[in-house]
Structure 1
Amino acid sequence: KVDWWFAYTEMSAKIVKGSGFPRERITVTDNAIDTISLINERNKLTEIQLNTLHHKLFPQDGSIASNYPTGVYCGRLTKLKEIPFLLKSLALIHEKIPEFRMIIVGDGIDSGKVDLFCKKNNWVAWVGAKQGLDRVKYLALGDVWLNPGMVGLAILDSFAMGIPLLTTNTRTHSPEITYLQHGVNGLVANHDYQSYADTVVDLLKNKEYLAKLQKGSRDSSKLYSVEIMAEKFKDGVIKCLAT
């Protein structure tokens, strides 16, 4: 029997408490990544750099990236991420908003499906896997983060970019889904193509609501970092040793 539990998130803590373990001996660490480096890299990018990158990805467009509402996805292209669901939803979104653009960052077993979709639809750009800070310039073009399948630590990338994450109520999410506050820093739609697409379309057409969620995402980025997580670990260890 352990003396102290260190839980990834509040969701994890509830599971441990539900097994009969005392809540006062559980420390929620709020699992995180190096969000500060991501934020700093994002802040270095200029409007000219973003416009240039957008035109490189979508040469058929004009020179102003902000004229094109853009979704981004960054992660593995695997079954749990429900890439076919994402692609089907993108088609529905584009039917309602023809100027909509999508950037997909990542690689995996469903990369062939993504590649084929992009070849048929020049409003979607797949840039492959990008490691570390290399992914930031692509993600910085996004207005929303689209991830209908399993959500994990990528939610912290969305916060660092200052854009809301839109997902579904699938049961496959990782503990980090706890960080998503519906209507504050993201949205959770029903798990079907049309509902998800409608949620995205409604948000992109409501500039005031979109700005609110983007601010909520920026605010949330201040709550989760490696530094904050380490501090919580330290506090938990001290409390454990004091018992």
Structure 2
Amino acid sequence: MEVKKYQVTIIYKTLPQYRRKFFELLKERLDQHGVELNLIYGQPGIKDAAKKDTVDLPWAHKITNHIIRVGNRELYWQPCIKLLKKSDLVIVEQASKLLVNYYLFAAHLAGRRKMAFWGHGKNFQGHTASSLGENVKRFLSRRVHWWFSYNQTSADVVREIGFPEEKITIVQNAIDTKQLTDISAALGPSELDQLKLELGINSNQICIYAGGMYEEKRLPFLLEACKLIRKQVPDFHMIFIGAGSEDNLVKEAAAKDDWIHYVGPKFDAAKVPYFEISKLFLMPGLVGLAILDTFALGVPIVTTEVPYHSPEIEYLVNDYNGVICKDAEDIVQYADTVIKLLQNDVKHAKLVKACLETGSVYTVEEMADRFAQGVLLAMGVEGARVEVC
């Protein structure tokens, strides 16, 4: 007797490189349970394209998004309806700008196929959100079939808007940290010395920033703080990895000061050596998945208590595996915090130890396991275990 082959479709706006390993692992895990994963993704809009972080997967369906600009917003129509005919469950990002979600929601209410949301639960960057968009998200979020929340913080948001807790899967959002730690372990002192030589660094007082470069990251604040740090720590050097709409600020600073190093976007193996020569990760603005880099590679983060961090900020325990400066507007306090950590080897070593311990908890393997179990539960596949919520 032939075992039924279920099909679940995930529609993702674009495919950033940090999601590649997750989708590969999820596909493997679902296949073991007779569930076929169908992944659909398109190209980024102007803001996201500036990050230069998208990749392709040969087994997935790449479509061409139709992007409509309305003022300073981008609306996406993802032409994928014909690819959903065999899908028992469709999982989409919780975003009001994704127009296909409304069509899929109507089909869900009509009983044609089940629809699930995957996301934060709300826009944590509230200053960029429209009240209409958030109201629409709340309305839809209470009525989908299943919820895949980023972590406990997101699950709390979804539960508080009235969605049943028993239909929420906490996926524990993560990246491929094992790849990072494997590469780190393989690097030798000579390779790191060569990198420092190439950068023109003759010091161990090095900090790093790695991530998108846009307004919420507060690059002007960070650059000003770096100048204050340099005055107190004469051999201080700062490395910037990434790209985005405000990378020109970093490029201009690097052109002016030889202790500021802009190396552009670096992913996976390419970014690890830069972390290995750094003592602290400086990100005074929005913190998201980048925090997992700091845990995996033992480079403690110093951030501030801005009100718009992504849900992953819950992984940070202040003064244990990183530091959060309470006054987000106090550049002097931020710089002093960094200076003290650079000059206190004992405190720094404790933070590094805690980072590495935390890094073993949040892994892409665990995320794929949790997500796969949520899919099985949502589809009513026999043998699913209720242990991840």
Pair in the same fold by TM > 0.5: yes
Take 2:333 and 2:216, find their aligned partners in 1: how far apart are those partners? 19
1:182 aligned counterpart, secondary structure: coil
- The residue aligned with 1:10 is 152
- The residue aligned with 1:64 is none
Q: Does 1:206 pair with 2:383?
A: no
Q: If each structure's helix is expressed as a fraction of its own residues, which one has the higher value?
A: 1
Q: Deviations over 1:16-52 (max 9, x none)?
A: 1211233343221111111111111111111111111
> In the TM superposition, what is the alpha-carbon distance from 1:184 to its structure 2 partner?
1.3
> In the TM superposition, what is the alpha-carbon distance from 1:110 to its structure 2 partner?
2.0
Take 2:170 and 2:304, find their aligned partners in 1: how far apart are those partners? 25
Contact 1:77 1:110 in 2 (8 A): yes
What is the aligned length? 237
Write the letter of the residue equivalent to 1:236.
Answer: G
Take 2:165 and 2:337, find their aligned partners in 1: how far apart are those partners? 37
- The residue aligned with 1:94 is 230
Write the letter of the residue equivalent to 1:205.
Answer: Q
Q: Does 1:221 pair with 2:363?
A: no
1:188 aligned counterpart, secondary structure: strand
Contact 2:179 2:268 in 1 (8 A): no
- The residue aligned with 1:122 is 258
Q: 1:148 aligns with which of 281, 284, 292?
A: 284
Q: 2:371 aligns with which of 233, 237, 241?
A: 233
Contact 2:204 2:278 in 1 (8 A): no
2:235 aligned counterpart, secondary structure: coil
Write the letter of the residue equivalent to 2:354.
Answer: G
1:128 aligned counterpart, secondary structure: coil
Contact 2:275 2:299 in 1 (8 A): no
- The residue aligned with 1:191 is 328
Write the letter of the residue equivalent to 2:304.
Answer: T
Take 1:239 and 1:107, find their aligned partners in 2: how far apart are those partners? 39
Q: Does 1:135 pair with 2:271?
A: yes
Contact 2:300 2:351 in 1 (8 A): yes
Take 1:165 and 1:24, find their aligned partners in 2: how far apart are those partners? 34
Q: Deviations over 1:32-87 (max 9, x none)?
A: 1111111111111111111111121125x2xxxxx522111111121111111110
Take 2:332 and 2:152, find their aligned partners in 1: how far apart are those partners? 31
Write the letter of the residue equivalent to 1:19.
Answer: I
2:144 aligned counterpart, secondary structure: coil
- The residue aligned with 1:41 is 183
Contact 2:284 2:302 in 1 (8 A): yes
Q: Does 1:20 pair with 2:155?
A: no
Contact 1:165 1:186 in 2 (8 A): yes
Calculate the TM-score normalised by the size of structure 2.
0.58
- The residue aligned with 1:77 is 213
1:167 aligned counterpart, secondary structure: strand
Larger Rg belongs to: 2
- Identical-residue share of aligned pairs (%): 39
Write the letter of the residue equivalent to 1:198.
Answer: D
> In the TM superposition, what is the alpha-carbon distance from 1:128 to its structure 2 partner?
1.0
> In the TM superposition, what is the alpha-carbon distance from 1:238 to its structure 2 partner?
4.7
Write the letter of the residue equivalent to 1:127.
Answer: V
Contact 1:58 1:125 in 2 (8 A): no
Ranges in structure 2 where 5+ consecutive residues have no aligned partner? 1-142
Cα-Cα RMSD: 1.7
1:11 aligned counterpart, secondary structure: helix
Q: If each structure's strand is expressed as a fraction of its own residues, which one has the higher value?
A: 2
Q: Deviations over 1:160-179 (max 9, x none)?
A: 11111111111221111111
> In the TM superposition, what is the alpha-carbon distance from 1:94 to its structure 2 partner?
1.1
2:262 aligned counterpart, secondary structure: strand
1:145 aligned counterpart, secondary structure: strand
Contact 1:151 1:174 in 2 (8 A): yes
Take 1:235 and 1:77, find their aligned partners in 2: how far apart are those partners? 35
- The residue aligned with 2:314 is 178
